[in-house]
Each structure stands twice: as C-alpha cells, then as structure tokens.
C-alpha cells in the first residue's frame, strides 16, 4: 500500500515535471520555430547579401587581377618608353642598334607581351647606314617592331622607315597632344599568319631635352587574359565576361572563341546592357562600391537563370572596361539553403541542448517538490509528525516551512483535543481548552467548549430531574398506598353496605309477605289488631333502621366520591411528574392514566349509587309515610276495613317496589365492589411502578454522580 502510494507520488512528481517539460518543449519549440523562421529569413537575407557582396568582392578581385595585369603592362610600357629617352643623345650610327637592344631586352624580360614596338617622329632617327637627316636629307618615319619567332627561342624584328601613317592615327595624335599613355581598344592583329586579338599599351617617348620624340609600347594578347588564374567564386557554374568600352569581348571563361567578338554578335546583349547601366551610375563612396547586380540574368554558359554582378575595370589609361560575373541562380540559392540549413541545424542542436539544460535545471529545482509531496502525502494519510527537509530561500522553501508549521500546529491541536477527550472519557467534564487555536480552528475550540458546557448543563439537569423523579415517585407511591388503603376501606364499607342491603331486602320481602298475609287475613284484622299494632311498631322501627342505614350508605358514598376525586388528582400529579421525567416516566404515565380512568369510572359509579340511594331513601320515606298511615289505619281500623285493605294493597305495592329497588341496589353494589377492586389493583400497581421508578431514579443519580462536573453558579 505504501509502495503504491510512493509510486503514485513519484508518478505525480514525474507528471509535474513532464507537464512543465512538455509545455516548455512546446514553448521552446514554438520559439525556436519562430527563431528558425526569423533566423532563416534573416540568414537567407544576410547570406544573400553576403553572397552578393562575395560575388562583388570576387568580381572586384578578378577585376583587380585584370587591372593589375593591364596596369603592370602599362607601367612596363611607360618604363620602356622612358628607356628610349636617351636615344637622341647617342651617336646616329648607334641609334638603331640601341633601339633593337631595348626592344629585345624588354621582350625577353616580359613573356606576357606579344610584341613590342617604337614609333618615332619624322627624321629623328638616323637611316639604316647610321646617317642623320642632316646628311641624307631624306624623310624617314622610322618604326621598329619585335616579337618572338615561331620557335620561341629568338626574336623577329620588323623595321620600317616609311611609317608615316602613324602620325595620322588618333592614338598618336592624342599621346603627342596630351603626353598621356594610351591603351587601345581590343583589335585583331595578324602576326606570323595568325589573327591575334590584342590590346596595345602605348606611351610617349621624349628626348633628352624633353621634346616629343615618338611613342613606344607593347601588345598584350587577350588570350593571355583567358589563361590567367582568377579568384574562385566557389560556384561551379561561374561564367566571367569582360567587355571593352566598345562592347568587344575581352574575356570569356566559358567560350574563349568569342573573344574579340562584339557582345551583340555573341548574344550578350544582356551583358552589354548591364555594362551600360554601370557606366551610367554615379561614382560610389569607395572604389569598390560600384556594381550592377541582376537577379534576372541568364547564364549563357549553362543556359539557366542566374544572378550576375557587373563591376568596372578601371585602367590608368582611362579606358572604361567592365567585368561581368554570373552564376546559376539554383546554385546560388542552394548554397544559401545549405548555409541556412546548417544554421537551422545549429539552432536545433542548440535548442536540444537548451532543453536538456532546462530539463536538468527544472529537475534539480523540482527535487524539493518530491520532498514536499512526501510530506503532504503523510499529512493526507493522517501523519502529523512530519518534517519537510527543504532549506531554500525560494517559494518551495517557504512552502516547506509553511507545511512544517501546519503539521506542528495541527499536531498540537490534535494532541490537545485528544487529551481533552481522554479526560472526558474518564467522566471528568471539568475541562477547559488550554491550546490557543487560530484561524479556521477557532470554531473547533468554540465547538468543544460548547460541547463541554452542554454536557455539563445536561448532566446537571439530569441530576435535578432524577431528584425530582425520585421525589415525585415517592409522592406517587405514597398516594398509591393511600389510594389502596382507601380502596380497601371502600371495599369493607361496601361489604357492610351489602350486608345491610341484604338485611333490608329480607325485611322488605318479609314486609311484603306480611302485607300479603294481612291482605289475606284482613278478616282477621280485628282479631289480630294488637299483633298488627306490634308489627307496625316493628315496621316503623325497621323503616327507621332503613333510613339510618341509607344515611350511612350516603356517607360511605360521599367518602368513596372523595377518594375517587383524590385518586383522580393524584393520577393527574403522577402524569405531570411522568412528563417531567421524560423517557423514564413514560411507563408511569400510562399507569397514572389508568388510575385516572378508574377514578373517573368510580366517580360515575358513585354518582349512580348516590342516585339509587336517593331513590331508596325516597322509598324509605314513602314506606315511613305508609307505615304511619298504616298505624293510623290500625288506630282507625274500626273506621273501615276498605281503607285498611286499600292501605294494605299500597303497602304490598310499595313493598314490591322496594324489593325491586333493593335488587337494583344489590347489582349496583356489585359494580361498585368491582370498581373498588380495580382501584385497589391499580393502586397496588401504581405503588409498585412508583417504587421501580424511584429505584431507576436512584440508579440514574448514581450514574450521573460518576461525572466530575464544573461548578454551576
């Protein structure tokens, strides 16, 4: 059972941890999803921007390589032109040899150049024989061209003295007018039977006095640009195209055969358009800030949509060339997607690590919860002697201390209540709550105090009621004994009355018989007049006795009526006392009711007896009157036998009536005797019940006296 409870507690703790972790997982998952989405968007934007910047940077690096190559050739051309400065100062016969040496020396020191040349002003160079113009007086426009021979081991020279057409060329006139070097736009030059696309870098040549002496330069084959190693973009679909200012193709990494072709002829109108856009852009804040980025380009090398970057090629000569770099859009975004996925993977791994750290932290900080739950489970099981060992300054520590305080307080309350109940169980009701109850426990203290006070009051009332029941039962017992004695006296009086009535009945019957005899022997009245007079005297005496007996019966009936009234009063008092006694007096109340019913019946019987006695007295009085009349008749018997006969008949009738009355009286006396016997039995039962009730009240008093009660003021 305890193991199941601990498993339930552990499951509850795990459930709390799982709930927190699950909610945190959902929350963190949502947050990380948002972070991933936002990071992906930002990353994609950033990567797109970085990739664009990378493309621009790589494009500028490659542009720098091209520029550096051209500018290097430009510098070398300037150096070569400057090296011819002293030609005018040497002897005329040595000039051409010096020029050849300079050309050969420059060409041998720079393998990147296709040809090297020098064009001089008219008549400034000696003729082939070494004679100056002042001697031969012949117009000479000397030019010398040198280039590697077909074997690559020697140098071939081309020399002309009639190159007058150079003086009319635009570049020559511009260099002569401005003194600035000049880079010619790409052109095709036939050399050794081959058409070579090249550019020419030409610089002015001055004599020792600083006068314009001619031009010198070198030719750079664009095929060399094609074979140059460029900075990698990192994309396999990279295609670079360099355009001259006139949109001639200078470089095509995908199709070198197009070098020298116009962009329009190669289908590079889009590239030419971007180059034109670049030319129209204002200069940026920095040298490498100018570029045209297009996301709707077509990679001619792959035939797929791409992203292109066009940057300028800035020449010292002032030529405005452009470098176009394009990559496939799919490869561009694939790298971004890969980088974004890597970032997402890093974020997910970081999220998992974060969740694990959060789980471990929550698990560590929720360890006190298990201790608290163990304590609360013990409280739930009724164990108040607990100690939750969580000593922290956070909410859990305060909760643990609160639970410990609650358990201690409740334990004190339970011990106090148990102690008070134990004292009460030992019949000691004189107790008081010593513990200070607080909060919602105050009603418990109040209820216990009310229970104690109520029990004390109830037991005090029981003692008083027991005393009153005992006193009442004794009174009822005394009354019952008196009633029993009165009933016995009633029975004795009734017996005597019955004897008297029986005697009276016999006398009446005898009187009737005598009257009959008188009636029969009326003839003998006169003879027996003396005897009749004596009998009449006896009759009068008997009538007096009857009257006296009737008066005695009337007194006895009065006594019975008083006894019945007293019995009724006693039964009423007994009912009242029984009602006050409560459950203990219910049986006595029934007996009291029976006594009251019997007393009522006795009173009714007495009333009937009184009525009958009244009738009997009336009959006796009538008999007395008749007897008086009879006496008078006897005195005046002589006056007439008829009156005597009539009187005798009346006496006979009256005697018969008396006989019937006495018979009824005898029956009623039997009834009265039965009632009196019932009263006697009821009185005896009432006495016995009262005695038992008295014993029960004493027992109740004895039981209650075991309790030690508070003193009641």
DSSP 535-565: HHHHHHHHHHHHHHHHHHHHHHHHHHHHHHH
- pLDDT for position 284: 63
Residue from 125, 117, 221, 222 nearest 172 by CA: 117
List Cβ neighbours of 376 (8 Å cut-off, separation of 6 or more): 403
CATH of domain 228-332: 3.30.450.20
Sheet with 239-243, side-by-side order of all strands: 249-252, 239-243, 320-328, 304-314, 292-299
Query: Between the CA of residue 653 and those of 77, 620, 662, what are the distances in Å?
Result: 199, 13, 14
Give the mean model confidence (pLDDT) for residues 267-296. 81
How open is the CA angle 31-36-38, to the nearest 5 degrees?
90
Q: Are 372 and 396 a contacting pair, CB within 8 Å?
A: yes
Give the mean model confidence (pLDDT) for residues 453-469. 77
- pLDDT for position 585: 67
Helix ranges (DSSP H) in 395-441: 395-425
Which phi-psi region, left, alpha or beta, contains residue 214 (left: φ > 0; alpha: ψ -120 to 50)?
Answer: left
Query: What are the backbone dihedrals phi and psi of residue 250, each rounded to the nearest 5 degrees, phi first?
Result: -95, -30
Beta bridge mates, 328: 306
Q: Are 534 and 513 a contacting pair, CB within 8 Å?
A: no
Give the mean model confidence (pLDDT) for residues 662-667. 76
Comparing 630 with 252, which gets the higher pLDDT? 252
Instruction: Extract the tokens encoding 152.
Output: 């690559």
- pLDDT for position 527: 60
Query: Between the CA of residue 672 and those of 423, 481, 497, 560, 596, what are the distances in Å?
Result: 62, 20, 11, 10, 16
Determine the Cα–Cα distance for residues 554 and 541; give it in Å rounded to an integer: 20
* CATH class of the domain comprising 459-704: mainly alpha
572 three-state secondary structure: helix
**Cα–chain-centroid distance for residue 424?**
45
Which DSSP category does 385 fall into?
-
Q: For the segment 420-442, what is each residue's pLDDT rounded down to a tens digit? A: 778 777 777 777 776 777 777 77
Beta bridge mates, 116: 146, 218
Same fold, 228-332 and 459-704: no
143 three-state secondary structure: strand
- pLDDT for position 135: 85
Which phi-psi region, left, alpha or beta, contains residue 495 (left: φ > 0; alpha: ψ -120 to 50)?
Answer: alpha
Q: Are 481 and 687 a contacting pair, CB within 8 Å?
A: yes
Residue from 101, 130, 104, 98 nearest 116 by CA: 104
From the number of C-beta atoms within 10 Å of its C-beta (0-12, 13-18, 19+), residue 377 rates as: middle
**Helix 329-365 vs helix 367-380: angle between axes, to the nearest 10 degrees?**
40
Determine the Cα–Cα distance for residues 448 and 261; give it in Å rounded to an integer: 116
Confidence of residue 206 (pLDDT cuts 50, 70, 90): very high
Does residue 2 surpass a pLDDT of 50?
Answer: no
Confidence of residue 480 (pLDDT cuts 50, 70, 90): low
Specify the pTM: 0.46
Give the mean model confidence (pLDDT) for residues 629-639. 67
- pLDDT for position 172: 92
Does residue 5 surpass a pLDDT of 60?
Answer: no
Which DSSP category does 211 fall into?
-
- pLDDT for position 215: 93
CB count within 10 Å of CB 477 equals 20
Residue from 545, 442, 511, 532 nearest 652 by CA: 511
Determine the Cα–Cα distance for residues 263 and 260; give it in Å rounded to an integer: 9
Confidence of residue 286 (pLDDT cuts 50, 70, 90): low
Show the beta-strand stretches assigned E in 458-581.
none
- pLDDT for position 119: 92
- pLDDT for position 15: 62
* CATH class of the domain comprising 371-425: mainly alpha
- pLDDT for position 1: 46
Confidence of residue 251 (pLDDT cuts 50, 70, 90): confident
* Mean pLDDT taken over the chain: 78
From the number of C-beta atoms within 10 Å of its C-beta (0-12, 13-18, 19+), residue 165 rates as: exposed
Q: Which residue has the tokens 């005598």?
A: 514
CA atoms within 13 A on the CB side of 533: 9
CATH of 64-221, one of 3.40.50.300, 3.30.450.20, 3.30.420.270, 3.40.50.720: 3.30.450.20
Determine the Cα–Cα distance for residues 702 and 511; give it in Å rounded to an integer: 70
From the number of C-beta atoms within 10 Å of its C-beta (0-12, 13-18, 19+), residue 606 rates as: buried
Residue 114's H or E segment, with its range, is strand 113-120
From the number of C-beta atoms within 10 Å of its C-beta (0-12, 13-18, 19+), residue 433 rates as: middle
Determine the Cα–Cα distance for residues 533 and 524; give it in Å rounded to an integer: 13
Query: Between the CA of residue 169 and those of 140, 165, 185, 195, 211, what are the distances in Å?
Result: 17, 7, 14, 21, 20
Each domain of the chain, given as residue ranges in start order, spans: 64-221, 228-332, 371-425, 459-704
Residue from 394, 399, 388 nearest 364 by CA: 394
- pLDDT for position 4: 52
Instruction: Extract the tokens encoding 14.
Output: 């795990």
Query: Between the CA of residue 82 and those of 85, 202, 210, 217, what are the distances in Å?
Result: 5, 12, 11, 11
Determine the Cα–Cα distance for residues 307 and 370; give it in Å rounded to an integer: 62
Confidence of residue 205 (pLDDT cuts 50, 70, 90): very high
CA atoms 48, 53, 59, 65: torsion sign: negative
**Cα–chain-centroid distance for residue 694?**
67
Confidence of residue 644 (pLDDT cuts 50, 70, 90): low
Residue from 126, 135, 122, 125 nearest 163 by CA: 122
Confidence of residue 173 (pLDDT cuts 50, 70, 90): very high
Residue from 626, 667, 618 nearest 644 by CA: 626
**Cα–chain-centroid distance for residue 27?**
18
CA atoms 586, 591, 597, 603: torsion sign: negative
**What are the counts of helices (DSSP H) followed by strands (DSSP E) for the chain?**
13, 12
Q: For the segment 127-151, what is each residue's pLDDT rounded down to a tens digit? A: 888 888 888 888 888 999 999 888 8
Beta bridge mates, 148: 155
Which DSSP category does 49 fall into?
H
Determine the Cα–Cα distance for residues 512 and 536; give it in Å rounded to an integer: 13
Q: Are 368 and 392 a contacting pair, CB within 8 Å?
A: yes
- pLDDT for position 212: 92
383 three-state secondary structure: coil
Q: For the segment 304-357, what is each residue's pLDDT rounded down to a tens digit? A: 888 888 988 877 767 788 889 998 888 777 777 777 788 778 878 887 888 788
């Amino acid at each position: 059972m305890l193991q199941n409870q601990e498993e339930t507690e552990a499951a509850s703790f795990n459930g709390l941890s799982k709930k927190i972790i699950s909610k945190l997982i959902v929350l963190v998952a949502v947050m990380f999803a948002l972070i991933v989405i936002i990071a992906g968007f930002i990353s994609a934007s950033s990567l797109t921007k970085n990739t664009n910047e990378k493309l621009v940077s790589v494009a500028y690096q490659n542009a720098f390589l091209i520029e550096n190559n051209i500018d290097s050739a430009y510098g070398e051309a300037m150096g070569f032109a400057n090296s011819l400065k002293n030609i005018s100062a040497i002897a005329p016969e040595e000039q051409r040899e010096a020029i050849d040496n300079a050309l050969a020396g420059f060409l041998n020191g720079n393998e990147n150049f296709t040809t090297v040349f020098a064009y001089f002003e008219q008549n400034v160079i000696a003729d082939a024989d070494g004679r100056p113009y002042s001697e031969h007086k012949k117009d000479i426009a000397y030019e010398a061209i040198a280039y590697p021979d077909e074997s690559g081991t020697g140098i071939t020279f081309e020399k002309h003295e009639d190159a007058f057409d150079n003086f009319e060329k635009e570049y020559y006139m511009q260099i002569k007018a401005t003194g600035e070097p000049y880079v010619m736009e790409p052109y095709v030059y036939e050399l050794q039977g081959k058409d070579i696309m090249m550019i020419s870098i030409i610089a002015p040549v001055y004599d020792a006095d600083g006068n314009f002496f001619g031009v010198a330069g070198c030719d750079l084959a664009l095929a060399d640009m094609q074979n140059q190693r460029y900075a990698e973009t990192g994309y396999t679909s990279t295609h670079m195209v360099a355009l001259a200012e006139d949109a001639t193709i200078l470089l095509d990494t995908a199709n070198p055969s197009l070098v020298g072709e116009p962009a329009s002829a190669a289908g590079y109108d889009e590239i030419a358009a971007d180059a034109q856009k670049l030319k129209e852009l204002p200069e940026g804040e920095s040298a490498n800030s100018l570029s045209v980025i297009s996301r709707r380009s077509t990679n001619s090398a792959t035939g797929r949509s791409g992203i292109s970057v066009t940057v300028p090629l800035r020449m010292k000569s002032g030529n405005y060339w452009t470098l176009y770099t394009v990559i496939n859009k799919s490869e561009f975004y694939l790298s971004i997607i890969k980088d974004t996925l890597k970032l997402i993977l890093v974020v997910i791994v970081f999220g998992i690590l974060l969740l694990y750290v959060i789980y471990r932290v929550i698990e560590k900080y929720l360890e006190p919860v298990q201790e608290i739950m163990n304590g609360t489970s013990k409280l739930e099981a009724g164990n108040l002697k607990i100690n939750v060992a969580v000593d922290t300054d956070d909410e859990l520590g305060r909760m643990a201390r609160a639970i410990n305080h609650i358990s201690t307080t409740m334990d004190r309350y339970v011990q106090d209540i148990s102690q008070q109940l134990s004292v009460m169980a030992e019949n000691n009701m004189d107790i008081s709550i010593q513990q200070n109850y607080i909060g919602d426990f105050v009603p418990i203290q109040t209820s216990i105090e009310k229970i104690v006070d109520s029990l004390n009051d109830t037991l005090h009332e029981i003692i008083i009621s027991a005393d009153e029941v005992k006193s009442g039962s004794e009174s009822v017992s005394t009354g019952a004994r008196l009633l029993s004695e009165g009933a016995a006296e009633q029975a004795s009086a009734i017996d005597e009355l019955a004897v008297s009535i029986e005697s009276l009945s016999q006398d009446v019957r005898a009187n009737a018989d005598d009257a009959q005899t008188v009636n029969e022997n009326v003839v003998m009245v006169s003879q027996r007049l003396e005897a009749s007079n004596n009998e009449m005297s006896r009759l009068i005496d008997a009538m007096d006795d009857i009257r006296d007996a009737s008066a005695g019966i009337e007194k006895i009936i009065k006594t019975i009526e008083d006894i019945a009234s007293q019995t009724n009063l006693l039964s009423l008092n007994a009912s009242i006392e029984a009602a006050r006694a409560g459950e203990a007096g219910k049986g006595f109340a029934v007996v009291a009711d029976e006594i009251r019913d019997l007393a009522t019946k006795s009173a009714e019987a007495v009333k009937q007896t009184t009525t009958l006695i009244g009738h009997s007295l009336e009959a006796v009085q009538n008999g007395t009157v008749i007897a008086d009349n009879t006496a008078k008749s006897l005195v005046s018997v002589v006056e007439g036998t008829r009156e005597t006969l009539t009187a005798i008949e009346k006496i006979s009738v009256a005697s018969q009536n008396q006989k019937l009355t006495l018979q009824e009286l005898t029956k009623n006396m039997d009834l009265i005797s039965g009632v009196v016997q019932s009263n006697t039995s009821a009185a005896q039962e009432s006495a016995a019940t009262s005695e038992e009730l008295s014993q029960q009240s004493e027992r109740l008093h004895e039981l209650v006296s075991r309790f030690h009660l508070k003193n009641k003021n």
